[in-house]
Amino acid sequence: MLWAILAVVAGLGALVWSAERFIEGAAATARHFGMSPLLIGMVIVGFGTSAPEMVVSVLAAVDGSPGIALGNAYGSNITNIALILGVTALISPIAVQPQIVRRELPILLLVTVLAAWQLVDGELSLADGAVLLLVLATVLTWTVLKGLRGKDNIVVDVADELANPASQPSLGYSLFWLVLGLLVLVASSRLLVWGAVTIAQSLGVSDLLIGLTVVAIGTSLPELASSVMAARKGEHDIALGNVIGSNLFNTLAVVGLAAVIHPMSVAAEVLSRDVLVMGLLTVLLFAFAWSRKGHGGRINRFEGGVLLAGYIGYTVYLLQTAF
C-alpha cells in the first residue's frame, strides 16, 4: 500500500500544479485570440478550476469506480462550501453582492435539487447525464448573455484577475503551458485514481469514502488557495464566485460527463447522506448571504466557524461509519 499512498501524494501535488498551469495557459491563449474577459471567466476559469474534478471523475467512471467519480464531485462541493468558505470567512469576512443572492445562489439551489431528484431511483443513466450537460449549456449561455448586457456578473472579476497579468506572455509560451498543463493533469489524475482505489481496497473501505475525503480535498486545493488569496486581497467576489462556479460545474459537468461515459448505480447513502449534506450547506450558505435590507449580505467569522465545524463533523462521521 506504500506505493499507493505515494501515488496519491504525488498525484495530488501534480494535480494542483498542472491545474494552475492549465488555467493560466488557457486564459492567456484565449486573450491572444481576442476572447472577451466574460467568456474567459465562464469557459476558461469555470472549466479550468473544475478540471481536476472533471478529469478524475471521468477516469474513475471509465475505470469502473463510480464511488470515486460521485464522491469526488459531491465531496468537492461540500468541501468548497464548508471548508473553503469557512476558512476564507475566518480569515476575512466575505461581503456578498446583491446579484449573487438574486441570481447565482438560486441557480445553485435549483441545480442541487435536480441532482438529488436524479438519484431517487438509485441510478445515474445516460439520459440523466445528458440532462445535466444540457442544463450546464443553458446556464452558461444565459450567464454570458446576461453579462453582455451589464458588467455586474461575478465572473468578470474572476476573468480580469486571471486574464490581465502585468505582462502578457507570447502565444507560443501560452500554448506550451496549456498543452503541458493538460497532459500532466490527465496523468496525475490517473495516478491519483489508481492510488485511491488501491488504498480503499487495502483498508476495506468503499471507494466512495475515498472520493468524498482524500480525492475531494485534493481536487479542491486550487479553489482553496485562490479563495484564501482573494480574501486576503479583499476580493470577496472572486472568493465566493469561485466556489459557486466550481459547485455548478462539479454538479453539472463532472457528474454529467461521468454518467454519459459510464451510467452507474448509486449507493443509497449518496442521496440520504452526502447529497443531503450538500443541499443543507447550500441552503445555509444562501441564508448567511441573505440580507433583508437588499444591499447584499455578509458571511462573518462566526458563520465561517459554523461552516468549518460542519465540515469537521461530517468528516468525523464519515470516518466513524467507515471503520
User: 222-257, pLDDT tens digit by residue?
Assistant: 677 767 766 776 666 666 777 888 899 899 999 999
On average, the pLDDT of the chain sits at 80
Q: How far is CA 7 from CA 3, 198, 203, in A?
A: 6, 10, 16
For range 40-45, the mean pLDDT: 56
pLDDT value at residue 156: 43
Cell digits of residue 295: 444591499
Q: Where are the beta strands (DSSP E) in 32-144?
A: 94-95, 123-124
Q: What distance in Å separates the CA atoms of residue 226 and residue 230, rounded to the nearest whole number?
A: 6
Instruction: With a cut of 50, say whether residue 158 has pLDDT above it.
Output: no
The length of the chain, given as a count of residues: 323
Arithmetic mean of pLDDT, 270-278: 94
pLDDT of residue 275: 95
* DSSP category for residue 122: S
Q: Kindly report, residue by residue over 256-272, the tens digit of the pLDDT.
A: 999 998 898 888 899 99
Domains, the chain, in order of start with CATH, read 2-322 (1.20.1420.30)
- Residue of 166 and 6 predicted with greater confidence: 6
pTM of the model: 0.78
C-alpha span between 263 and 148 (Å, rounded): 37
Counting Cα atoms < 13 Å in the Cβ hemisphere of 66 gives 15
The answer to whether the beta carbons of residues 314 and 79 sit under 8 Å apart is no
Q: Give the model's pLDDT for residue 115.
A: 94
Average pLDDT over residues 68-96: 89
Count of beta carbons in the 10 Å neighbourhood of residue 1: 11
d(CA 142, CA 43): 13
Task: Give pLDDT tens digits for 180-192.
Answer: 887 887 788 778 7
